[in-house]
């Protein structure tokens, strides 16, 4: 009976006319999401967080400095082999010392990605959003926000944001069985204040010339003119952009990005045989990310997204080729 | 397996099952031979034997009266596309072994050969849990910046792209 009442409340939250109070709360929760987005854009911070997926957890240090020149970020993985990701505005460099490789990902457009501009209305159609309890995390009083998916094509999320600044301090992702798929949680965090600029500088950059640089070479593209398209996307997803780029050693990969406002899925299309070895079709999971690979018309279609297996599979199935 | 191959040729397999079958085909030389033979038989039955036959034999075969007129004549174009695909795939299988240090998608056969399950049932299946090799990380990195979660969490979600996590079950 209690469960039923709870379900009724949850359902009401999504239908404004039915229960004004619940709807009010929903709006408030949406306001919180906006606050999180805004905070992430403008705040400087430094801290240590733990990323957990399944049995595995990894500690990383994350520093972000926003100044007159833009956004500088550095993510350093502290467990296992050293790895580091440096971001300066739209350029992301990923240093992998074990292979002496630096992968450079540069976006052609400036400013934040359009789809990520808090299209809150967009994803309110796909999730029930509500405020939950307040909780103290890493020394900050946080407001919890719950996003429940309306179908099995996306994950559920619970976010904890600092009440004062809106900074995201903790995030959990749930699957359809309500199990935690992955979790990010700061254990120690300084928001604002003086942050040493050294903390956003790469410890690998400029050390010798032995690093192999892999440029991603992204350009906008019209994949439909090449015959590639998505036939019927699962409900709530729409196409956001399409590009041509390199992915690792493969030079000429089409990428179509679709999103439901909160989760994004990339469809990569490349001719078979550009990679060494035998590509294997099927499904793979990495934390909240699912990967589905299929072959189509002599091409390899790789679908990657932080959505459930069913979501990536459906999107992969929607890929079609029509001779242009 | 050969019955399934035959069923595949006759397009009697569901999507998942045919994927599985094609996947086996990729890796199994004997099956590839069988596949070619089935197609030769099929072509011969339809009176247009071509691929892989000596011209003289093909001519003689073409001169033979047609014994059967299979119902799937209109599917010839599609069948040929499949043939091309399988040929390319088998070449790939020969030439390219050991793509990455770790198998990218560990139990492909297991996933691919799963019964043609309805969508709801598929959703309930636990996805195959696999180690993540560098090759997959390339895709993850390429994807990550488009992820709206990156805006909310800043760079934090990027840890996925370089994570050393090896899920195992």
How confident is the prediction along chain B (169 residues), in pLDDT tens digits per residue?
Answer: 766 766 666 666 666 777 776 777 777 777 777 666 666 565 555 555 444 555 555 566 556 554 444 444 444 433 333 333 333 333 222 222 212 222 223 333 333 333 333 433 333 333 333 333 456 778 888 887 777 666 556 667 777 766 665 433 3
Residue A179 has what DSSP assignment? -
Confidence of residue A48 (pLDDT cuts 50, 70, 90): very high
Confidence of residue A294 (pLDDT cuts 50, 70, 90): very high
Confidence of residue A34 (pLDDT cuts 50, 70, 90): confident
The answer to whether the CB of A157 falls within 8 A of the CB of A171 is: yes
pLDDT at A291 exceeding the cut of 70: yes
User: Positive or negative, the Cα torsion across B162, A179, B127, A267?
Assistant: negative
Nearest CA among A204, A233, A259, A206 for reference residue A86:
A204
What's the rounded Cα separation, in Å, for the pair A306 and A263? 6
Q: Where are the domains of chain A?
A: 2-200, 217-321
Structure confidence at residue A217 (pLDDT): 79
What's the rounded Cα separation, in Å, for the pair A290 and A46? 29
Angle at A53 between CA B114 and CA A14, to 5 degrees: 85
Residue labelled with tokens 């990495």:
A286
User: Positive or negative, the Cα torsion across A42, A48, A52, A56?
Assistant: positive
The secondary structure of B106-130, three-state, reads CCHHHHHCCCCCCHHHHHHCCCCEC
Q: Is A44 on the interface with B (CB under 8 A)?
A: no
Q: Is B77 on the interface with A (CB under 8 A)?
A: no
Structure confidence at residue B85 (pLDDT): 33
Q: In chain A, count of helices (H) and strands (E)?
A: 4, 21
**Which residues from chain A sit within 8 angstroms of residue B113, using beta carbons?**
none
What's the rounded Cα separation, in Å, for the pair A75 and A60? 7
Structure confidence at residue A292 (pLDDT): 92
3 state SS of A189? strand
Q: What percent of the residues of chain B are helix, what percent strand, and what percent coil, each to the nearest 5? A: 65, 0, 35
What's the rounded Cα separation, in Å, for the pair A320 and A228? 6
What's the rounded Cα separation, in Å, for the pair B64 and B83? 24
H/E run at residue A61: strand A56-67
**Which residues from chain A sit within 8 angstroms of residue B85, using beta carbons?**
295, 297-298
Structure confidence at residue A145 (pLDDT): 93
**Which residues from chain A sit within 8 angstroms of residue B161, using beta carbons?**
85, 94
In degrees and rounded to multiples of 5, residue A219 shows phi and psi of -135, 150
- Range with the poorest average pLDDT among A49-63, A293-307, B89-103: B89-103
Residue labelled with tokens 């003689």:
B60
Q: Where are the domains of chain B?
A: 2-95, 108-162
What's the rounded Cα separation, in Å, for the pair B115 and A225? 36
A308–B162 C-beta distance less than 8 A: no
User: Positive or negative, the Cα torsion across A110, A112, A113, A117?
Assistant: negative
Q: What is the mean pLDDT of residues A34-54?
A: 87
pLDDT at A246 exceeding the cut of 90: no
Nearest to A277 among B99, B125, B153 (CB): B99
Q: What are the tens digits of pLDDT across the range A166-183?
A: 999 999 999 989 999 989
Residue B46 has what DSSP assignment? H
Rounded to two decimals, the pTM is: 0.65
A2-200 and A217-321, same CATH topology: no
What kind of architecture, by CATH, is found in domain A217-321?
2-Layer Sandwich (3.30)
Nearest to A281 among B96, B108, B153 (CB): B108
Q: What are the tens digits of pLDDT across the range A255-266?
A: 999 988 788 899
Greater confidence (B93 vs A52) lies with: A52
Structure tokens at B51: 């691929």
A278–B26 C-beta distance less than 8 A: yes
The answer to whether the CB of A126 falls within 8 A of the CB of A260 is: yes
What's the rounded Cα separation, in Å, for the pair A24 and A218? 43
**Which residues from chain A sit within 8 angstroms of residue B151, using beta carbons?**
37, 40-41, 112-113, 116, 118
What's the rounded Cα separation, in Å, for the pair A26 and A22? 6
Give the CATH H-level superfamily of domain A2-200: Lipoprotein localisation LolA/LolB/LppX (2.50.20.10)
């Amino acid at each position: 009976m209690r469960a039923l009442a709870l379900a009724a409340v949850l359902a009401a939250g999504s239908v404004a006319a039915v229960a004004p109070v619940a709807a009010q709360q929903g709006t408030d929760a949406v306001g919180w999401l906006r606050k999180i987005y805004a905070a992430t854009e403008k705040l400087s911070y430094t801290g240590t967080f733990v990323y957990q997926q399944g049995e595995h957890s990894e500690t990383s240090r994350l520093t972000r400095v926003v100044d007159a020149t833009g956004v500088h970020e550095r993510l350093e993985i502290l467990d296992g082999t050293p790895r580091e990701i440096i971001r300066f505005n739209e350029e992301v460099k990923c240093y992998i010392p074990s292979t002496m490789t630096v992968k450079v990902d540069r976006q052609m457009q400036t400013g934040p990605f359009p789809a990520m501009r808090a299209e809150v209305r967009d994803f309110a159609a796909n999730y029930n959003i509500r405020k939950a309890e307040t909780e103290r995390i890493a020394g900050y009083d946080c407001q919890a926000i719950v996003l429940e998916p309306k179908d099995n094509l996306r994950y559920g999320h619970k976010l904890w944001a600092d009440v004062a600044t809106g900074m995201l301090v903790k995030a959990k992702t749930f699957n359809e069985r309500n199990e935690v798929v992955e979790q990010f949680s700061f254990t120690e965090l300084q928001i604002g204040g003086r942050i040493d600029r050294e903390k956003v500088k790469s410890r690998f950059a400029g050390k010798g010339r032995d690093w192999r640089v892999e440029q991603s070479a992204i350009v906008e593209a019209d994949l439909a003119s090449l015959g590639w398209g998505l036939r019927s996307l699962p409900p709530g997803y729409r196409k956001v952009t399409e590009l041509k780029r390199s992915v690792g050693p493969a030079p000429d990969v089409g990428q179509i990005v679709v999103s439901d406002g909160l989760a994004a899925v990339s469809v990569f299309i490349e001719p078979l045989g550009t990679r060494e070895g035998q590509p294997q079709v099927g499904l793979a999971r990495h934390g909240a990310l699912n990967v589905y690979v299929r072959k189509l018309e002599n091409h390899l279609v790789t679908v990657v997204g932080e959505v459930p297996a069913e979501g990536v599979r459906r999107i992969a199935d929607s890929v079609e080729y029509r001779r242009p | 397996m050969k019955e399934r191959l035959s069923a595949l040729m006759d397009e009697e397999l569901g999507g998942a099952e045919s994927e599985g079958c094609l996947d086996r085909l990729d890796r199994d030389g004997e099956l590839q031979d069988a596949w070619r033979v089935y197609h030769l038989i099929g072509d011969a039955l339809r009176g247009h034997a071509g691929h892989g036959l000596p011209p003289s034999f093909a001519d003689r075969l073409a001169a033979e009266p047609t014994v059967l007129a299979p119902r799937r004549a209109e599917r010839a174009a599609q069948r040929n596309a499949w043939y091309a695909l399988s040929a390319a795939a088998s070449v790939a299988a020969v030439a390219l072994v050991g793509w990455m240090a770790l198998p990218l998608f560990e139990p492909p056969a297991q996933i691919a050969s799963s019964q043609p399950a309805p969508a709801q049932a598929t959703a309930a299946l636990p996805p195959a849990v696999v180690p993540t090799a560098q090759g997959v990380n390339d895709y993850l990195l390429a994807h990550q910046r488009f992820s709206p979660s990156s805006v909310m969490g800043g760079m934090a979600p990027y840890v996925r792209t370089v994570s050393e996590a090896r899920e195992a079950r």
